[in-house]
Amino acid sequence: MRSRRRPAASSVFASTQLARPVAAGRRAPVAPPDAWLFATVAGLVAIGIVMVFSASSATAYADYHDTAYFLKRQLIGLAIGGVLAYGAYRIDYTRLKRISPAFLAVTFVLLLLTLVPHIGLQTGGARRWLGFHAISFQPSEVAKLAIVLFVAAKLATVGEGVRSLVRGVTPLLLVALVVALPILAEPDMGTASLVVFTALGMLLCAGMRFEHLVIVTLAMLPGIVLTVGSSAYKRARVLAFLNPWKDPENTGFHIVQSLLALGSGGIFGVGLGASRQKFFYLPEAHTDFIFAVIGEELGLLGTLAVLALFAAFAIRAFTIAQRTTDRFGYFLICGCTMLIVIQAFINIGVVTSSWPVTGVPLPFISFGSTSLIMNLVAAALIMNVARRAR
């Protein structure tokens, strides 16, 4: 008889290790997040924390007698966002596909509530918040993530139907437009347009035909013209980026002060914390125009570093999307990435007078707890899909 060879001890150990179940009461270890994505997000958040304190210190002291007032609120938002992002990283993201319609419906109700007097909080002539003045949040920020989840879930099931204008493109865009309407009524034209832009970008990732994009754009053009032309002030404000120096003390004031900040920074900047424009010259210095303060204090090199981090984030995220075999995971990555990158593009475009003035914050960097939390959750969902793809 032929003798049977015993397997090597190393192979027995390896097979035992592979087949060994997780002990009762113990959880399987969680894989670490994608290093490149985590590093870019951490870098942007770190820049944001430093620059929020620098850009807001003068306003915080003047209004609240506390130079760190906005910094403390941003740190609270970071802590809450970190907890929610960890949960978004650990969850089985495929479950979000089933609950996405309900999540969008609840978010839409919250958007409607912001328009109700004595329920929605009004600040600066806009109703965008719910809650109390000390504890409040922006449903429009939640709506951006809700529309990404909903569109990703539908695109995962529609398949080649996205090539059809009637069956694929129109229904999803109509949902995005319906969600954008109460945001537009707040009024918040920047966030409303971002909701539509993100949905369009996801449709393009799914294979939407270029001629359908042209048709959709032409169909929405009359509504855009009517919205912008509804008042002389709104029309002048939107068109001010073409020539802000024509009315530097009114409609072009924001852009002129932003350009002065960027220009005075030069290549290396005037130094961290040494901005002069933040002393009540540049409006919204710690929110919508924080990129101008970065350019003034850290110079051209500082702004290029921020742009490089956003570019690295986008490249890495789309690279992971190409490796993802799950359709819902693929569209989820595309949507979350576009949500962050398009928003950054619009914000920087406004600050540099390359885009009409809209109230869109710079992701991870501008002050705003709800915005920071939602962006962290979106980044965590990308890392979640990346972990499962590995």
Domain that holds residue 145: 99-230
Q: Say whether both 226 and 251 belong to one domain.
A: no
Q: Say whether both 208 and 349 belong to one domain.
A: no
Angstrom distance (rounded) from CA 97 to CA 384: 14
Q: Say whether both 206 and 278 belong to one domain.
A: no
Residue 44, pLDDT above cutoff 90: yes
Q: Say whether both 299 and 207 belong to one domain.
A: no
Task: Name the residue among 147, 69, 101 with its Cα closest to residue 335.
Answer: 147
Q: Give pLDDT tens digits for 57-93.
A: 999 999 999 999 999 999 999 999 999 999 999 999 9
pLDDT attached to residue 30: 63
pLDDT attached to residue 181: 95
Q: Give pLDDT tens digits for 335-372.
A: 999 999 999 999 999 999 998 888 899 999 999 999 99
Q: Say whether both 198 and 344 belong to one domain.
A: no
Q: Give pLDDT tens digits for 173-221.
A: 999 999 999 999 988 888 999 999 999 999 999 999 999 999 999 999 8
Angstrom distance (rounded) from CA 227 to CA 185: 10
Angstrom distance (rounded) from CA 138 to CA 111: 9
pLDDT attached to residue 133: 67
Q: Say whether both 374 and 270 belong to one domain.
A: yes
pLDDT attached to residue 155: 96
SS3 at position 365: coil
Q: Say whether both 84 and 199 belong to one domain.
A: no
| Segment 225-242 mean pLDDT | 77
Does residue 3 sit within a domain? Answer: no
Does residue 22 sit within a domain? Answer: no
Reported pTM: 0.90
Least confident of 24-28, 311-315, 337-341: 24-28
Angstrom distance (rounded) from CA 166 to CA 208: 12
What's at 65, amino acid-wise?
A: H
Q: Say whether both 153 and 210 belong to one domain.
A: yes
Phi, psi torsion values for 205, nearest 5 degrees = -65, -30
Q: Say whether both 165 and 210 belong to one domain.
A: yes
Average pLDDT in the chain? 89
Q: Say whether both 214 and 179 belong to one domain.
A: yes
Distinct helix (H) and strand (E) counts, the chain:
13, 3
Q: Say whether both 222 and 341 belong to one domain.
A: no
Domains: count for the chain: 2
